[in-house]
Structure formats: structure tokens, C-alpha cells
Amino acid sequence: MSVDSRLSAMSTSIGAPAGASGQTAGSALEGGEATWRDPKRYAWLMGAIVPLLPFIAWGLVELTGVGAFWFAGPALVFIVFPILDIVVGLDPSNPPDSVLKWLEQDRYYRYCTYLYLPLLYAALVFSCWMWAYGNLTVLEKIGLAVTLAMVSGIAIADAHELGHKRDSLERWLSKIALAPTAYGHFYIEHNRGHHVRVSTPEDPASARMGESFFAFLPRTVLGSLRSAWRLEKVRFDRLERSPWTIRNDLFNAWLMSVLLFGALIAIFGVTIVPYLLLQALLGFSLLEVVNYLEHYGLLRQRREDGRYERCRAVHSWNSNNVASNVLLYHLQRHSDHHANPVRRYQALRHLEEAPQLPTGYAGMIVLAMFPPLWSRVVDHRLIEHYGGDVTLANIQPRRRRRILARYGVVEPTVPR
């Protein structure tokens, strides 16, 4: 049974002008109009399960008396969802071009992203209460912090979706979603830095072949911070104003985190501080491991004029695994996102020319924790993507000679 048929009970229709029939399997002529059914329409509400994880963990502990259930969050994200990716399978179908405008104007889909935010903050407050007054052991408090990190980390996917939109409200909501991880600079660096330099050696958020996630993490965190500051400084220089102002998006985003953390500590006490910081650290690390796999080893080539070629579908790893796509608001259709950054998640398309990951993001994140296994699974797919020519990949500089030698390539030595 196909994914479309498994989800068809939850589908709705979007009307489009006549002539759109035949563009997808879900199109049909009805009274001169073509109708397309969105098989995942109500599946997007599953994203609201994630911010409920601390409450689910509490319920399981209360029901069973087993404190290990405080670690339910990572179990769901890194065990259950990879299995669901395999069981539910792939959905490479696209909405017809003729319905994209109607699909993007359907406000139901943006309400799904808005819903995440009050639940996120409810989970945060509940966790703080449990750390302060819940009579948990230190290990159980750590488990709750790790579970909350899954909530705040995946909230960055929500912030990613909202931050790309032109609506000022959604941009502010993006910063609100980033506040629990104190990662407000992502709002600046991702939109104005990463999308310009993606899949080039200059991009701190594009991983290189031969670079482990554990080497990538400090490089991308520090590089993104520096880049966000430079971008805001350039913006204020053009305005002939000082960047040391609350109007600086870097400062007002971080101020949200300062006020949030300050209020929580004032209410619940300093005892929550280590766990609050732990969930923030793990939360933004979850974002960065997603960054790691999205462009690993992919490289935009330089043109004759020295500039990089335009970013195309071939410069992002994609996946059509349904479970992870629903969890991350179609973030796995990353190539279309880079081609159309303001396009809403429900309208993102699968592009055949994009390199495909062997499974969804949830499973690939687990794989990234084991660098030798990651290289064994991904590197040969990267080389196949480049037709066997390893020199076309974005290679970690200090490992370049060794990697080239592995594939029988010897670069000429440049005389000093």
C-alpha cells in the first residue's frame, strides 16, 4: 500500500484551475476543475506531539514508577522515528504547480507551526517546575533536560520555517522559538549567511567530506556567531549607525533568552540553571547535526569569473521519508527550500536531481554520532553523486591529500 493511500483518510482537497489534471496521481477532474488531495494535511499536527514529550515522560513515570522514562524524548526521536521512517516509507509525490498558490494561502498549515510555540513554553515551564519541586534524582533531572532538548531543538525547525517568511509576526515568532536554546543568531546567519554561502568552503554551516560531526560542531557554532555579528555590523554600517543598539537583531534575539532564563530562575531558583543550560546546549546541537547532514561534502563549483555557480538542487541532500518530514516541517526537501526560501513547507517539492540520503534525518542523526559508520554509508554516495570524481567534493582541507589518495588521485605539489 502506498503512502498516499495510507494517509488518504486524512486528506483534503484544494481546487485549482481547469487543465491541472494529470499532474499528480491525486488530481481528478470535477465539474471542469482539477482537484488535488493533500495526503499529509492532518499528519502535520503530529508535530505537536514533540513539545508534549516532557508531559508524556511524566505520565509514563507516574504510571510505571520507572524513572528511565524521563529519557523518553531521545528514545522517540532517535529510535521510534527512524523505525517509522522505514515502516511508513517514502512519499516523493509533489503538489501540482497549479495548486501551489492555493496551498500556500491555506492558513491551516501556518497554524500548525504556530501551535508548537505555546506547547514549547508549557513544556519549558513544566520542566523547570519538575527540576525545582519534583523530587527527581539528579539522573532523572538530566533525563528530563535531554527530553526537553528534543523539544527545544526541533523548535529550531519551526523557527527555520517561520524565520524565512516576509510576515513580521512570523519573524518575531521565529525569535521566540529560538529563545529557549539561546540561539537567536541563527535567525540572522541562516537567512543572510548560509543561504548565500551554502555548499562552499566559506560556509560554517556546510560540512566537508572527511569532517566528523564532532569536528564540525565547534566550527559551525563559532563560525555562525562570527558571521551573524559581521552581517549585522555591515547592515548598520550601511545605515551609518552604530550596531550597539537593541535594533540589532542579534541583541534583541539574545535579549529574549536573557529575559526568559532570568524569569525562570527568579521563579524556580538557581537549582534549575545546570539543566536549563544542558537542554539549550543539546537543543542547538540537534540543529547543528541537521546542518551537518544537509550539505555534507557537496560543493558549488567556481565559474570562470571566480564566482561560485548558482545554488541548485544538487547542492543539498534530500529525503522523502514521511515520518521525519512531518516531524521537521518538510525540512528534508531541502533543495527546493534553497531554491525557494520563502515557500511554505507544505508546498515544497521533491526534486529528482537532488542527492538522496539512505533514510530520514532522524536515522542519519544517529549515524552521524559514529563517524566511521557515517563515512562508510555516506562517502560512497557522495562520490557516486559526482560521477566518481572526488575532486568535485567539498573536502576537509587537512584530510584532503589522504582522501584523494584513497580514491587514486594525486594532486600536483605547488612549488614554494
**pLDDT tens per residue across span 55-71:** 999 999 999 999 999 99
Q: How many angstroms separate the CA atoms of 198 and 317, rounded?
A: 12
Q: How many angstroms separate the CA atoms of 356 and 335, rounded?
A: 10
Residues 6+ apart with CB under 8 A from 66: 60
| Confidence band, pLDDT 50/70/90 cuts, at residue 46 | confident
Residue in the block written with cell 517539492: 349
| Confidence band, pLDDT 50/70/90 cuts, at residue 230 | very high
Cβ atoms of residues 181 and 283 within 8 Å: yes
The closest of 43, 19, 169 to 112, measured between CA atoms, is 43
Quickly count: other Cβ atoms within 10 Å of residue 221's Cβ.
17
Residue 324 DSSP symbol? H
The closest of 284, 299, 297 to 225, measured between CA atoms, is 284
- Return the higher-pLDDT residue of 43 and 394: 394
Q: Which whole number is the average pLDDT over 232-258?
A: 95
| Confidence band, pLDDT 50/70/90 cuts, at residue 385 | very high
Q: Which residue type occupies 112?
A: C
Global confidence as pTM: 0.88
Cβ atoms of residues 41 and 72 within 8 Å: no
| Confidence band, pLDDT 50/70/90 cuts, at residue 412 | low
Quickly count: other Cβ atoms within 10 Å of residue 138's Cβ.
9
State what percent of residues in the chain have pLDDT above 70. 91
Cβ atoms of residues 348 and 339 within 8 Å: no
For 208, the 3-state DSSP assignment is coil
- Apex 232 CA angle, 229 and 235, nearest 5: 150
| Confidence band, pLDDT 50/70/90 cuts, at residue 24 | very low
> Which pLDDT score is estimated for 30?
38
- The C-alpha cell of 128 is what? 523547570
> Which pLDDT score is estimated for 27?
40
Q: How many angstroms separate the CA atoms of 294 and 316, rounded?
A: 6
Q: How many angstroms separate the CA atoms of 309 and 302, rounded?
A: 6
CA distances from 390 to 402, 403, 406 (A): 12, 8, 10
Q: Which whole number is the average pLDDT over 67-83?
A: 94
Quick check: 193 pLDDT over 70?
A: yes
Q: Which residue type occupies 13?
A: S
Quick check: 28 pLDDT over 70?
A: no
Quick check: 26 pLDDT over 60?
A: no
Q: Which residue type occupies 17?
A: P
Quick check: 156 pLDDT over 80?
A: yes
Q: How many angstroms separate the CA atoms of 411 and 416, rounded?
A: 15
Q: 212: burial class by Cβ within 10 Å (0-12, 13-18, 19+)?
A: middle
Quickly count: other Cβ atoms within 10 Å of residue 63's Cβ.
9
